[in-house]
Structure 1
Amino acid sequence: MAMPVQAADSKKDEQMYKERMELFKKMEAATSIPWYYFAGMDQYERNLRFVRKDLPEPDTVSIYVPETKWAGPLNPDQEDENPSTIAAFQGIGADGNGDGKADRLNGEDVLAAVGNYLLTYGTEHDNIKIALWRYYGRDKAVSIVIGNARMYKAFGKLNLQHKVFPLPRNFNYSFKNTWGAARGWGGRRIHEGTDIFAGHGVPVRSTSYGIVEMKGWNRFGGWRIGIRDINNTYHYYAHLNGFAKDLTLGQVVKPGTVIGGVGSTGYGPPGTSGKFPPHLHFGMYKDNGRTEWSFDPYPHLRQWERNE
């Protein structure tokens, strides 16, 4: 019974990706703004809708424009769909599908509104970054949107959901669910991840498509790397013995890209090693547009392990 359902879900997802890409490409043709910026904004807000109860469920186009921004803050009719009066009250609402209405719940109209807004700043990358900051008012949001856009540009597709286990399956390793366990080093705190024990130097791979958002030393985690995926999930790899050659901050990676090796670094100043058996600490964190929190990676690791 599961196989036909999975096949149907996959077909439905592919249709959704196709419809979204068609809309983004249409806006690129209309505005000269590359499609991946629209896709980056849409995916950022799509992720927010999955984790926030104050936002509606995701749709084909998931960019959410508040009524006051759409109709204009001083517009007495906050449900206004008339493009002329919306413009008079300095709202961003627009008619994207040619039906004479600026419908805040219509995907084409939303993309047209966003496209027109971005155009007021220009079509160059730096101009778009400024426009995004003015729109969201949050550096983290701009960083994530631009990261999404860079991934879409690099791979030329919207379906970037594939995941792999962080260690190659042909090496010996072991792990169990340790998320939430007590930790004594550095004060009372919980263990925000899963420890995967393996031999020193076993390759550590990116589990997802993503952007290398952090790379360096942490007195608890040792040599560590943080990669943010297209779902706005932050994948954290700690206690590494070092980094893969030429791996850089801001680099776009894909599932299976080697990023370092299993080690025993941490719990001291830079270079401290050997205070515990070699293992990979793997954590996952989620951002909802306001704050970021950790969640249990163990079920995901088991699923990725089974999939391979």
Structure 2
Amino acid sequence: MGKLIRPSIFLLLLLFILPVYYSAAVTDDLSSEEIYRERMALYKKTEAVTQIPWCYLAAADSYERGLRQALKDIPEEEGFIAIYYSPEKWAGEQNPNHEDTNAISIALFGGSGLDGNGDGLADRNNDEDVLYTFAEHLEKFGQNKEDIKIGLWDYYQKDKAVEIISGHAKVYETMDTLDLRDRSFPMPLHFNYSYRSTWGDARGWGGRRVHEGTDIFADYGTPVRATNFGIVESKGWNKYGGWRIGIRDTNNVYHYYAHLSRFEEGIERGTVVKPGTVIGYVGSSGYGKPGTQGKFAPHLHYGMYKDAGLIEWSFDPYPHLRAWERIERQKKK
């Protein structure tokens, strides 16, 4: 009985002390700082009601925002929250009204939608209702990290989704902010290096394939830096990439750093990094069994891959590298 009463009491209390969002807001005219502030208010309010840590709500939200950007069959969000419920899932598969906002009839038809702001409606176009509905699903499984992971798996039915969202949550928890826009060029600008666009070029070792990245040539031992905020998702040997590190950012993009001579001490799977963090050093490892070196000139292979839920594809990092290099040079002036 207490579990049924508790959310209602908290909701009624919070309605008077925190801002209320009656519908999905249009964010086009807001600055990034204003958007982050409004999102954080929503995460914190939902955390207070459900006890699901805000970092997991932010992580799932950013994961789905990345999916919306990558997929064509999910509409772009109109409000602050990107978590998506189809009309059928929200209102119930057998509900004759897929735009139903009556929480009672939605429940009768087995829909997911809940009233998160106490206005008597369960509206899938309302940021608070969507976030509360998602958090309540997680809360059914518990509030610690392992319980939340079980809830995430039950919701997404994919191990990779749970891994990515858990990584996002660790980044948000560590940095304690939503504003993770800073970027760095992968090498210190005062070192000697050169690069050009090589994405899509033919490669022959290990079979015919295309080059899925940009090669940045530099001397052995040149520091290699993280370009984004993110979490180290992979570290070790790859027969193509040699000693390599993979970092996932909160936009679901996987950043691939290959042909390293060695790793920086303290960089392990699960390490949270920020732009400029040294993760390793330029080498010529790869194209063979573990330890193979020297089959080509020393360089960093830098690749970017976008997760789209069921698949992940590479895209050209060259324009991003040029932009990050230019911005960093301007900061130093």
> TM tier, shorter chain?
over 0.9
Displacement, 1:52? 1.3
| Aligned residue number for residue 300 of structure 1 | 320
- For residues 200-219 of structure 1, the aligned pairs below 5 Å read 200-219=220-239
Q: Which of these residues, 94, 115, 136, is aligned with residue 95 of structure 1?
A: 115
For the pair 1:37 / 2:59, whether they are aligned, the reply is: no
Displacement, 1:117? 1.1
| Aligned residue number for residue 57 of structure 1 | 76
| Distance in 2 between residues matched to 1:171 and 1:237, nearest whole Å | 18
- For residues 250-269 of structure 1, the aligned pairs below 5 Å read 250-269=270-289
Q: What letter corresponds to residue 49 of structure 1 in structure 2?
A: R
More divergent stretch after superposition (90-99 vs 31-40): 90-99
- For residues 110-125 of structure 1, the aligned pairs below 5 Å read 110-125=130-145
Cα 1:235–1:61 change in 2 (3 A) is: same
| Aligned residue number for residue 106 of structure 2 | 86
- For residues 130-279 of structure 1, the aligned pairs below 5 Å read 130-279=150-299
| Distance in 2 between residues matched to 1:109 and 1:246, nearest whole Å | 42
| Distance in 2 between residues matched to 1:140 and 1:161, nearest whole Å | 24
Displacement, 1:11? 6.4
TM-score (norm 2): 0.88
For the pair 1:109 / 2:129, whether they are aligned, the reply is: yes
Displacement, 1:68? 2.2
Displacement, 1:91? 1.7
Displacement, 1:86? 1.3
| Distance in 1 between residues matched to 2:30 and 2:97, nearest whole Å | 41
| Aligned residue number for residue 27 of structure 1 | 46
Displacement, 1:10? 11
More divergent stretch after superposition (141-150 vs 10-19): 10-19
TM-score (norm 1): 0.95
Q: What letter corresponds to residue 274 of structure 1 in structure 2?
A: G
SS at 1:145's partner residue? helix
SS at 1:41's partner residue? helix
| Aligned residue number for residue 17 of structure 1 | 36
Displacement, 1:73? 2.5
Gap regions ≥5 residues in structure 2: 1-27, 329-333
Q: What letter corresponds to residue 64 of structure 1 in structure 2?
A: Y
Displacement, 1:76? 2.7
Displacement, 1:20? 0.3
SS at 2:232's partner residue? strand
Cα 1:10–1:108 change in 2 (3 A) is: closer
Q: What letter corresponds to residue 242 of structure 1 in structure 2?
A: R
SS at 2:170's partner residue? helix
| Aligned residue number for residue 11 of structure 2 | none
Q: What letter corresponds to residue 38 of structure 1 in structure 2?
A: L
Cα 1:11–1:99 change in 2 (3 A) is: closer
Q: What letter corresponds to residue 156 of structure 2 in structure 1?
A: Y
SS at 2:31's partner residue? helix
Same amino acid, percent of matched pairs: 60
Would you say how many aligned residue pairs link Structure 1 and Structure 2? 300
Q: What letter corresponds to residue 286 of structure 2 in structure 1?
A: G
Displacement, 1:281? 0.4
| Distance in 2 between residues matched to 1:42 and 1:298, nearest whole Å | 28
Displacement, 1:195? 0.5
